[in-house]
Amino acid sequence: MTTMHDTTRLYTAEGAGYLIRPLRPEDAPLLVELFRHMSPESRFRRFNQPLVNPDPAMIDRYARLMADVETDEGAAWLVFTQLPEGEGELVAGVRYMFFNPENRREAEVAITVRDDYQNQGIGTALLAYAAEQARAAGVERFTGLVQMANEPMWAIMRRLGLRIERNYDGSYGQVIVHLHEQTG
């Protein structure tokens, strides 16, 4: 990865390069656009609810809330295709949020990749980047709620090479990714 101001190059295992930068409050419209590029299945996997025809005003409101990440709450990044003059299309995003700002050792993580950019290694590279940044900030564990049938997300987590705990609850699994413990 190479850094250019607050923008970094993110490379997939296949060698494809993308730009990654921190999420900013003015990026809310980009989050709405990212949501529009998600199929109902992808929306269900990410938000754990169908969201087939959601109210556009609700999507705008949530996008504004999600785009406003204070540093004491967590961190978030967006991934873009690269054009010669800079950022191209938004293709993915990742964020981690602290459950308790006084306990920065554990954070909930969430990742979204546009449907037309899935299965290209972006999710794996992005989650690895977020884990690296979180470790540097003192985070020890990522947690998340993952549908048991969401095999793409389980595959991404396995490729991280970090110890993962799963606690099953019906069709969901509560996941704990230990950021400082490699798998053998």
CATH number at residue 118: 3.40.630.30
Question: Considering the domain boundaries, does residue 30 fall inside one?
Answer: yes
| Structural domain contains residue 172 | no
Q: Is the pLDDT of residue 125 over 90?
A: yes
Asked if residue 155 has pLDDT above 80, the reply is yes
Tokens of 17: 């390069």
pLDDT at residue 5 in the model:
47
Percent pLDDT > 90 in the chain is 41
The tokens describing 184, both together, are 């053998």
Does 2 or 37 have the greater pLDDT score? 37
Q: Is residue 158 in some structural domain?
A: no
pLDDT at residue 140 above 80?
yes
Q: 74 pairs with which residues across the strands?
A: 97
The pLDDT of residue 153: 85
* pLDDT tens track for 167-182: 887 888 888 999 999 9
How many domains, the chain? 1
d(CA 78, CA 65): 15
For residue 141, the SS3 value is strand
What pLDDT is attached to residue 85? 67
Structure tokens at 182: 């490699």
pLDDT in tens, 17-42: 899 999 999 999 999 888 887 887 77
Residue 127 domain flag: yes
Judge whether 157 lies within some domain: no
d(CA 58, CA 26): 17
Residues 78-123: pLDDT tens digits?
A: 999 976 666 789 999 999 999 887 889 999 998 989 988 998 999 9
In a domain, 154, yes or no: no
What is the residue range of 37's domain?
Answer: 3-140
Residue 58 in any domain: the answer is yes
Contact predicate 145/173, CB 8 Å: yes
Does 1 have pLDDT greater than 50? no
Domain assignment present for residue 149? The answer is no
